Structure 1
């Protein structure tokens, strides 16, 4: 079924709605270039991003739980209104395990959307009565997911304060990239940046290396980073370029062997095949006055090397 009433130009691509195994709607985006992305209304989560060759670019655990209220281990999860477990809310907030809706007539975007020639969908989350009990702030969280003809994936979140008083929030796109092997990848673009190390009681360090490679568990929040970060996968001869606006921080996470074995929804050896690199807003939460809106943007580009 093609959802009617969607705004914007979907030239050359298609938007279809299908049901998952639990009867929850998923939006399937197809670009004119043969790429595809699948977005679940449960959590507003991008579950799949595939190339024109049928190659999956996002990781999902073979032991992932697909039945609510559990968040699916993989894809791109939405961390809102907090990321981590420092507050009174559940870890990474509640947006990732709530049911979103398709918004057919969203308010105009005030930043560039590059929608021409792209296939996209607009999703909306509003707080339920249950949400207001644990986080007593009325909000509207919008998410536009765009798929370019060349396969580039863009996510544009918007948070509006519908309260009569200010509130503050954190945000993250918790992204599980599919990789060849954790020993075959490196991250560039975080050199000389300060980071909080969650494995050392959030002690602050400065990255001294030329690039970030992996030999053990990593759980860091890099602060005030540049707008572009690259993940180079030598095994698959490809590079993910992460470009971001309004998301100054970058989370880098791999649980390694010991912690993975303690997770019921993570295969024992699967830490070797995934790396989380998140565009995030953590160190300095955003404060919104009544009626104010925050907008961010995450673009993920795919490049192949010979």
Structure 2
């Protein structure tokens, strides 16, 4: 991909669900410091003093992101500490991009019966009716109080990804499709065919209001297996 991939961190705001004018907050555009690393894990941190360029968000915090790999499983943990003297309000997500061999032969399972807010319809509430979700056009949905286990089946790539989330109540499903992909400078015109985002999130179910001195932790684990 030109400039998108991996797991951008949406913080202290998911989408436009908060006071900031910038989509998904500012953490993903800041430099993190390396705090600790081993052969199979690393922890990065971001400290914000409540001022500076993001002064419209006057809430100090420290954000830790730990990524670890064990066998076929990658685990990503988000830890937020309120270093200020007032409650820290935030929404958040791990904006995870998964590569698939062919989006027309990929499916998402585990969301049947879950309510979702459709970003393509001004957050209109809908209910998922399908056992298997196929991406056949632009999709931008926030599934509210989604199950802890979601599955992405990449039929053309002959693999399956089992996604487990903890501490994130919601889950986002996103693919920009043809028109939106062409309008994004850091996204290739044809790359929508080879990706899907499934994101653990604190979005519609948020915001969190974290007490001074308190810490909030959430994580996801993704395990790959062959079909």
User: Does the CA-based 8 Å contact 1:132-1:138 persist in structure 2?
Assistant: no
CA RMSD of aligned residues (A): 1.6
Report deviation, 1:88: 3.5
Q: Secondary structure at the match of 2:91?
A: strand
1:160-209 CA distance string (max 9 Å, x none): 11111112111101011110111101101111000000001100000011
2-structure distance, mates of 1:261, 1:126: 35
Report deviation, 1:272: 0.4
Partner of 1:243: 164
Number of matched residues?
224
Partner of 1:109: none
Paired residues for 1:163-242 under 5 Å: 163-242=84-163
Relative to the length of structure 1, the TM-score reads 0.71
1:189-241 CA distance string (max 9 Å, x none): 11100000000110000001111111111000001011100000100110111
Q: Please point out which of 140, 148, 152 is paired with 2:62.
A: 140
Residue 274 (str. 1) matches residue 195 (str. 2): yes
1:78-100 CA distance string (max 9 Å, x none): 00000102433211111101011
User: Gapped runs of 5+ residues in structure 1?
Assistant: 1-60, 65-72, 106-114
Q: Secondary structure at the match of 2:203?
A: strand
Q: Secondary structure at the match of 2:168?
A: coil
1-structure distance, mates of 2:146, 2:17: 22
Q: Secondary structure at the match of 1:76?
A: coil
Report deviation, 1:140: 0.9
Q: Please point out which of 5, 18, 24 is paired with 1:92.
A: 24
Q: Secondary structure at the match of 1:241?
A: strand
Larger radius of gyration: 1
Partner of 2:43: 122
Relative to the length of structure 2, the TM-score reads 0.94
Partner of 2:210: 288
Report deviation, 1:75: 1.3
1:115-164 CA distance string (max 9 Å, x none): 9xx7111111101541551210111111111011x131001111011111
2-structure distance, mates of 1:165, 1:267: 42
User: Does the CA-based 8 Å contact 2:18-2:90 persist in structure 1?
Assistant: no
Report deviation, 1:262: 1.1
Higher relative contact order (CA 8 A, sep 6+): 2
Report deviation, 1:285: 1.5
133-142 or 188-197, larger mean C-alpha shift: 133-142
User: Gapped runs of 5+ residues in structure 2?
Assistant: none
2-structure distance, mates of 1:174, 1:147: 18
2-structure distance, mates of 1:79, 1:217: 21
1-structure distance, mates of 2:36, 2:98: 30
